[in-house]
């Protein structure tokens, strides 16, 4: 029944573990599951599209296509048959970042399976973040660490690419190695950060922090909204100045 002035929201059928539930059409998969009575103890973390804990696969009746999404971001659609993917078992090699080089040899030493890539593009099609996963694996195979780091930057490690890769590559752990190598050896050092850390160590901001801790919420909000914001980094952020070792 429609309450006065309030339009009743349309309900749509979805199927969780094969069982039908009618849920409000504006809910995300995650909220719809809770609406249906599920208590999410696993497969739920940040609820904001950042942690990658809520990787979900679904299909529509009569369709060959497996669809993917983050449950906390994807809004339900009628007749979704869905299942959440738990943390996917994946190889994660151990290395000392101080002792490795930003080179193709390092990638192949720790993740030789990248060479098994068939270029089928299933990983890219499985990525709920629309990352060009196959392209960053191709960059890894060429030893192009900067490109590997750049293309994989938005990865939330949900594991959907790994779940579907016929070459059994764990793409997101290759990407982590790439970004660590990039941050450690290729990206120019942020001198202002080093200076700032030193100033923090010397206690320069101690007094200011104590004053902030004693400030009321309203003033804190005002200070936050009026803060100085650094301009966005341009694309050349990813371009290493010294390319001699690439």
Question: Is there binding between residue 50 and ligand FES (CB under 6 A)?
Answer: yes
**Which value, to the nearest 10 degrees, does the dihedral of the CA atoms of residues 35, 38, 41, 44 take?**
-50
| Region binding ligand FES by CB under 6 A among candidate stretches 4-12, 15-23, 38-46, 60-68 | 38-46
Distance (Å, rounded) from C-alpha 90 to C-alpha 118?
A: 19
Question: Is there binding between residue 27 and ligand FES (CB under 6 A)?
Answer: no
Q: Per the structure block, which two tokens stand in for 166?
A: 């016929």
Angle at CA 174, nearest 5°, toward 171 and 176?
A: 110
Taking CA atoms, 140 is separated from 109, 143, 163, in Å, by: 12, 5, 19
Binding mask 133-172 for ligand FES (x = CB under 6 A): -----------------------x----------------
Question: Is there binding between residue 40 and ligand FES (CB under 6 A)?
Answer: no
Q: Which listed residue (21, 22, 25, 47) binds ligand FES by CB under 6 A?
A: 47
104: number of Cβ within 10 Å: 16
SS (H, E, C) 186-221: HCCCCHHHHHHHHHHHCCCCHHHHHHHHCCCHHHHH
Question: Is there binding between residue 46 and ligand FES (CB under 6 A)?
Answer: yes
Smallest gap from residue 162 Cβ to ligand FES (A)? 16
For ligand FES, the closer CB: 53 or 155? 53
Q: Which listed residue (72, 134, 140, 169) binds ligand FES by CB under 6 A?
A: 72
Question: Is there binding between residue 76 and ligand FES (CB under 6 A)?
Answer: no
Q: Which residue in 114, 110, 113 sits closest to 94, CA to CA?
A: 110
| Residues of this chain that bind ligand FES (CB under 6 A) | 44-47, 49-54, 70, 72, 156
């Amino acid at each position: 029944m429609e309450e006065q002035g309030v339009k009743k929201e349309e309900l749509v059928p979805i199927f969780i573990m094969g069982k039908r539930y009618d849920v409000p059409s504006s809910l995300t998969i995650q909220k719809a599951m809770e609406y249906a009575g599920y208590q999410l103890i696993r497969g739920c973390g940040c609820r904001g599209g950042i942690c990658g804990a809520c990787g979900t696969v679904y299909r529509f009746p009569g369709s060959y296509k497996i669809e993917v999404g983050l449950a906390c971001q994807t809004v339900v659609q009628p007749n979704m048959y869905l299942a959440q993917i738990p943390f996917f078992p994946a190889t994660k090699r151990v290395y000392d970042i101080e002792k490795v080089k930003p080179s193709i040899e390092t990638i192949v030493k720790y993740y030789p399976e990248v060479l098994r890539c068939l270029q089928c593009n299933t990983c890219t099609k499985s990525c709920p973040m629309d990352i060009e996963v196959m392209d960053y694996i191709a960059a890894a195979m060429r030893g192009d660490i900067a490109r590997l780091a750049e293309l994989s930057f938005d990865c939330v490690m949900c594991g959907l690419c790994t779940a579907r890769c016929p070459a059994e590559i764990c793409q997101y752990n290759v990407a982590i190695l790439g970004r660590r190598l990039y941050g450690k050896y290729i990206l120019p050092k942020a001198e202002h950060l080093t200076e700032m850390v030193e100033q923090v160590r010397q206690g320069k901001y101690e007094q200011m922090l104590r004053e902030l801790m004693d400030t009321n919420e309203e003033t804190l909000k005002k200070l936050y909204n009026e803060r100085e914001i650094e301009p966005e980094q341009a694309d050349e952020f990813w371009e290493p100045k010294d390319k001699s070792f690439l």
